[in-house]
Every structure is written in C-alpha cells, then in structure tokens.
Amino acid sequence: MVNSIRVPLDIPINGTPVRLTEIRLPREFGIPFVLVRYSFDGKPQGKPFRLDVQKGVFLDHPEDLSLDAKLQEAIPKILRLLSSAVVNSIEG
C-alpha cells in the first residue's frame, strides 16, 4: 500500500527560477501537513517545503523574502489542486 498520495504540479513562481512540481499527502488524512516539492532552474530540489493545510501557510521559508512572498501567493492554487486530488482518491 502506498503511504502517500502524489499530486503532480506545474506551477511556476513568477519572477523566479522556482517551479512547484509535486504535492505529497500522507494517507493519514488526520495529519494537516503536506510536502510541496519544487525545482530551481529546472533541477529538482531534495528538501520539500512543508505546508500546513489547516492554516494555509508554509512552515519552511527560503532565505529570499521576495521568493517567500511569492510562494505564499501560490498557496490557494495548491490547496485547490490538493482538494481535488483528495476527493478523487476517496471516490476512486
């Protein structure tokens, strides 16, 4: 049994070399955190950003504050895609 649901993404973060590439949702739906994987200049990065889906905030922040603000702007789109993936997983 797979221990997480994978949701492919292709969300560029405007004005940066960052692209969000995947959400990983633990099968334990009681856990309010997901992992958001990303690439930098087309290279996948090893450490994903943790997203608290209840609060709608990233728990990890890049050192670049302008990038951090742009990541925060992407949260509503991430949560919409995540919601659809959870519904599809339950129905399917």
What's the predicted TM-score (pTM) here? 0.81
pLDDT (tens place) for every residue of the chain, 92 residues total:
457 888 899 999 988 999 999 998 877 656 688 999 999 999 999 889 999 999 999 999 988 888 899 999 999 988 888 888 777 767 76
d(CA 60, CA 83): 21
DSSP letters, 38-87, are: EEETTEE-SSPEEEETTTTEESS--S-HHHHHHHHHHHHHHHHHHHHHHH
Residue 80 amino acid letter:
R
| Model pLDDT, residue 28 | 67
Range of the domain at 71: 4-91
Total number of domains constituting the chain: 1
d(CA 63, CA 7): 26
| Model pLDDT, residue 1 | 40
